Structures are given as C-alpha cells and as structure tokens.
Amino acid sequence: MRKKRGLNKAALVHRHSVRIRFSEVDSMNIVWHGNYVKLFEDGREAFGNHYGIGYLDIYGAGYTAPVVELHCSYIQPLTYGDTAVIETRYIYLPSAKVRFEYDIFRESDNALVATGYSLQVFLDKEGALEWNNPEFFLNWQKRWMEIE
C-alpha cells in the first residue's frame, strides 16, 4: 500500500511486468502511443485478478464497468524488447466510480515512461448506469480498505 501523490487517499497497488513485442513498436522501434492504453489494461486486469475484482467477478455480480475517461502522459519511449513494469493503483472514491492510476516504468533502468488514469462506471445487465455502488463492490471495498 502507498499513499497517492497529492491526495490523502490510500491506494491498493499491484505491479505487473510485460515484455514489449515486435508488433507493438512502429518503424522507429518505439512503442506506438496507443499501445500504452493496452499496457494500462494489462495492469488493470492483473490488479483485478490479484485483488479479486476482475472483469469476470464484476460480470458474475451482474454488472459491467466500461471505461468512461482515460488519460495518458508520455514521458520517455519504450522500445522492442524492453520490459514495462505497470504499477496500477486503485484510488478510493465514495461515488459509484472506479478510478485506477498508472505509472509505467522501464525495468532495465527503472525510468518512468508514462503515467495515466482511467475512470469506470457500473452498468447493470440492461446497460443502465448505477448511481450507487453495487453491494458486491461495497463488500470488496470493505475487505481491502480495512488493510489501510
């Protein structure tokens, strides 16, 4: 666990490594900018699997959680063969939203290469927006936020 920079909200953290494949770089051997979003997704999926809040867990509870906002800041490039370390942080919000923040590092020198965040909302089985946190999510928060 660590505190989010600039906010006094505790965050759950998970780190996940991904090796950059040839298909992810452009003709200049630099990871194409859109693939950083995929790295965020890899981090979010690994986080969910680690903490028991994966997409199938959400779906099994009768909901989906589409991304409604996404931001990425590029700092340094990754290249073919690099290993990206994605640090994914869940940031507690009292509203019915799920916020993840990301730092991507190059493993070889621990350089910060990108940062970002995503925001998700809950939809029920009919696709209607949930204005309150679903019970399964409140139970998940209670389980993990007690470890602060």
pLDDT at 120: 98
Quick one: 2-145 is in which CATH superfamily? Answer: Hotdog Thioesterase (3.10.129.10)
Model confidence at 128: pLDDT above 70:
yes
Residues contacting residue 20 through CB under 8 Å, at least 6 positions apart = 31, 78, 79, 80, 81, 82, 83, 84
**Burial group, residue 115, by CB count within 10 angstroms (0-12, 13-18, 19+):** middle
pLDDT tens per residue, range 88-118: 999 999 999 999 999 999 999 999 999 999 9
CB 76 within 8 A of CB 106: yes
Query: What's the whole-number mean pLDDT along residues 39-48?
Result: 97
State the pTM of this model.
0.89
CA atoms within 13 A on the CB side of 97: 13
Model confidence at 147: pLDDT above 60:
no
Q: Is the four-CA dihedral 129, 46, 114, 5 of positive or negative sign? A: positive
**Burial group, residue 107, by CB count within 10 angstroms (0-12, 13-18, 19+):** middle
Chain centre to alpha carbon of residue 100? 5
CB 10 within 8 A of CB 1: yes
pLDDT at 60: 96
pLDDT at 9: 54
pLDDT at 11: 77
CB 19 within 8 A of CB 83: yes
Say what percent of the chain tops pLDDT 70.
Answer: 91
Model confidence at 134: pLDDT above 90:
yes
What is the residue extent of each domain of the chain? 2-145
**Which tokens belong to 36?**
């950083």
Model confidence at 18: pLDDT above 50:
yes
pLDDT at 148: 44
Question: How much is the mean pLDDT over the chain?
Answer: 92
